[in-house]
């Protein structure tokens, strides 16, 4: 087993936190409460801070790039399906001859199964983004809850499309050690991103695209979203994707799904 394998990284993090916690207890027993406080804070930070960093690899592998010798990028679309956005997004992708991966929310997939099937039938991928997408609390989820969220979403995808998911993206890209461990046990590859325009808030498509393009290079994984937001105009999601694909094309880039780019043989990077 490699020293810095995902499992060993989790063990080392737990060990560091435990050592610091033990030091805090010894300092408190000796009456050095200020030192005990500092050690306790450091022990907590060893576990908490990596959990709150998007795409953190402290607890396990996260793919943020894919290997390609061509000007290709991977467009990933989170939080669907959505009754207004998904049909418009599929139309835009079709108009540009682009492929994408949709990281779907399980309860949405069950609510609009025809949209989940449309994603697959039009040659795109549908992957796991938890069942409820409770972003405010999922980062602190314990193993049983993590397992349930992942299994229910896998089941929703299988039930509606007959497809087995093999990739997973945590809500807002933050995950504790349990998330990494459960995803690995389920045979799911954790997928992050390397370029985003922060379109999870009301936005102007042009500004989102400008932010994304700053980090676009061959093999980049691009994150955008579907779904409604307070203050977000109807049709903006599709407009953002259309503007992005036009700019990518102008710069010589093609949007592909890596597993389809070279007949399933494209290796992924960013996993260390």
Is the confidence at residue 43, as pLDDT, over 50? no
For 16, counting Cβ atoms within 10 Å of its Cβ (0-12 exposed, 13-18 middle, 19+ buried), the class is middle
CA dihedral 132→138→144→148, nearest 10 degrees, is 20
CA dihedral (182, 184, 186, 192) positive or negative = positive
Cβ atoms within 10 Å of 189's Cβ, excluding its own: 17
Kindly tell me the sign of the dihedral angle through the C-alpha atoms of 243, 235, 167, 159: negative
Annotation marks residue 225 as catalytic: yes
Interval 131-180: pLDDT, tens: 999 999 999 899 999 999 999 999 999 999 999 999 999 999 999 989 99
pLDDT value of position 8? 62
What is the model's pLDDT at position 262?
A: 38
185-244 residue pLDDT tens: 999 999 999 999 989 888 899 999 999 999 999 999 999 999 988 888 899 999 999 999
230 contacts 75 by C-beta, under 8 angstroms: no
pLDDT tens digits along 251-267: 999 999 997 433 333 34
Topology of domain 65-269 in CATH is TIM Barrel (3.20.20)
> Looking at 82, 96, 203, 225, which residue is catalytic?
225
Quote the pLDDT of residue 260: 47
> Which residues in 153-176 are b (16+ Cβ under 10 Å) and which e?
bbebbeebbebebebbbbbebbbb
CA atoms in the 13 A half-sphere facing the CB of 42: 16
pLDDT, residue 37, reads 57
Using CA atoms, how far apart are residues 95 and 37, in angstroms rounded to an integer?
59
pLDDT digits (tens, 9 = 90+) for 108-128: 999 999 999 999 999 999 999
Q: Give residue-wise pLDDT tens across range 50-77.
A: 788 999 998 899 999 999 999 999 999 9
> What pLDDT does residue 266 have?
38
Q: What's the DSSP call for residue 63?
A: B
| Mean pLDDT (the chain, rounded) | 86
Q: CB–CB of 260/113 below 8 Å? A: no
Return the bridge partners of 254, or none. 72
106/192 Cα distance (integer angstroms): 19
The answer to whether 140 and 108 have CB atoms below 8 angstroms apart is no
Residue 12 pLDDT greater than 90, yes or no? no
Question: Alpha-carbon distance 49 to 46, whole Å?
Answer: 6
CA angle 173, 113, 208 (to 5 degrees): 40
Is 114 annotated as catalytic? no
For 266, the token pair is 């494209």
Q: Which one of the listed residues 65, 78, 199, 242 is annotated catalytic?
A: 78
Helix (H, G, I), strand (E, B) or coil at 266: coil
């Amino acid at each position: 087993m490699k020293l810095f394998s995902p499992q060993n990284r989790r063990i080392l993090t737990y060990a560091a936190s435990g050592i610091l916690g033990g030091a805090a207890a010894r300092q408190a027993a000796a009456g050095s409460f200020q030192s005990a406080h500092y050690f306790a804070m450091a022990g907590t930070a060893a576990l908490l801070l990596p959990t709150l960093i998007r795409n953190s690899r402290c607890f396990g592998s996260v793919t943020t790039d894919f290997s390609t010798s061509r000007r290709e990028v991977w467009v990933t679309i989170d939080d669907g399906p959505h009754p207004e956005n998904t049909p418009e997004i599929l139309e835009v992708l079709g108009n540009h001859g682009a492929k994408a991966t949709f990281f779907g929310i399980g309860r949405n997939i069950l609510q609009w199964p025809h949209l989940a099937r449309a994603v697959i039938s039009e040659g795109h991928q549908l992957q796991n983004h938890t069942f409820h997408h409770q972003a405010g609390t999922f980062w602190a989820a314990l193993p049983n809850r993590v397992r349930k969220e992942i299994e229910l979403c896998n089941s929703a995808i299988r039930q509606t499309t007959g497809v087995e998911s093999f990739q997973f993206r945590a809500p807002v890209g933050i995950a504790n050690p349990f998330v990494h461990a459960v995803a690995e046990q389920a045979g799911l590859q954790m997928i992050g991103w390397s370029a985003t325009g922060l379109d999870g808030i009301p936005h102007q498509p042009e500004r989102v695209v400008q932010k994304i393009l700053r980090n676009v290079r061959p093999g980049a994984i691009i994150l955008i979203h579907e779904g409604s937001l307070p203050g977000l105009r109807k049709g903006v999601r599709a407009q953002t994707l259309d503007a992005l694909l036009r700019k990518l094309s102008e710069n010589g880039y093609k949007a592909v799904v890596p597993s389809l780019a070279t007949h399933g043989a494209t290796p992924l990077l960013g996993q260390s």
